[in-house]
Amino acid sequence: MPDPVSDVTPPAAALALVTDAAQGLTIESRGQIRLAVERFAHHRLAVVGLIVFLLLLLLSTIGPVFWQYSYSTITAQFATGPSAQHPFGTDLIGHDLFAQVMEAEATSVKTAVLVALIATTIGTVVGAIAGYYGKLADVLLMRFTDLILAVPLLVVLLVLANKLSKQAGSWLWIALILGLLLWTNLARQVRGAFLALREREFIEAQHAIGASDRRIIFRHMIPNAIGPIVVSATLTVALALLIEAVLSFLGLGIQPPEVSLGSLINSGQDAATSLPWLFFFPAGFLVITILSINFIGDGLRDALDPTQRVHS
């Protein structure tokens, strides 16, 4: 007659099985990363978008160091068209527009990136807690998410602009406000991913060996939900660029002496016909930046989709 005790897997053996499974998942995850890189490399528009975005980033960060004019320098030439000395011309005050566009690109990009970091962090944490614990935590967090969705962004900025005066017009304040309002869609995506993941066998195995909730969430569940998180973060950068430009165009965004692409477009709109370079150069940089980021986001979405295959 078989010994019933011998049929029970010893704790050490169970731990070894879980360890082997974790090692297998690590090897598999490395293979998935390699496949994702290959898929992204085969997405031509995404690669072009990445190259263009990196060139714009390089121009806006390194260019001002070597350029002869600062964005705040007032030259002796007023409202002159593009020339060898001023490739993008000058504005009505005498600022070199090329220097201003480089500074505006850097300001807009760092604002959008900070927005994406804040929104991605909040959305991931809220969605992870709601999806992992469920029940009351899920109900409360999702109702709070619905409340944030109902907040009109324009009204919030009008109130803050009135209360905070000059501080509300700095790029940092704009980034904080937008980041605190743009995390809701990611929270819902992460919640859905966690609701599916918490029923998987490897999560149940982690519970069986007594792994803490924090370890399960950060070491196992978030890495398996990284696809929608990365894609959402990338597209949030483009969305933040567009929203910041619209707000600056309406006079509610970044204010002087700081410049952004939206504020330059706002300054040049009245002269779009008589002095077109004041409008079209900042607008062109904004369009190219948003398009390149959207192409990167499309490439990441396809690359991180497990149903996609690399075509040779």
Whole-prediction pTM value?
0.81
User: What is the token pair recorded at 55?
Assistant: 């060139």
Higher pLDDT, 140 or 22: 140
Judged by average pLDDT, the poorest of 182-191, 197-206, 285-294 is: 197-206
Instruction: Work out the mean pLDDT of the chain and round it to a whole number.
Output: 81
Is residue 80 over pLDDT 50? yes
Segment 236-242 mean pLDDT: 92
Segment 157-183 mean pLDDT: 75
Contact 303, 40 (CB under 8 A): yes
pLDDT more than 90, % of the chain: 29
What pLDDT, on a 0 to 100 scale, did the predictor assign at position 1? 45
Residue 194 CB neighbour total at 10 angstroms: 25
End-to-end CA distance of the chain: 58
Segment 279-288 mean pLDDT: 92
- For residue range 182-192, what is the model confidence (pLDDT) as tens digits? 999 999 989 98
Sign (positive or negative) of CA dihedral 287, 290, 291, 292: positive
User: What is the token pair recorded at 64?
Assistant: 């001002």
Task: State the alpha helices, DSSP H only, in 70-170.
Answer: 97-133, 135-149, 153-164
Segment 106-110 mean pLDDT: 92
Q: Which residues contact 220 (CB under 8 A, 6 or more apart)?
A: 202, 203, 206
Is residue 312 over pLDDT 60? no
What pLDDT, on a 0 to 100 scale, did the predictor assign at position 306? 56
Place of tokens 């006079």: 251
In terms of average pLDDT, the best of 72-76, 89-93, 113-117, 272-276 is 113-117
User: What is the token pair recorded at 301?
Assistant: 């979405």
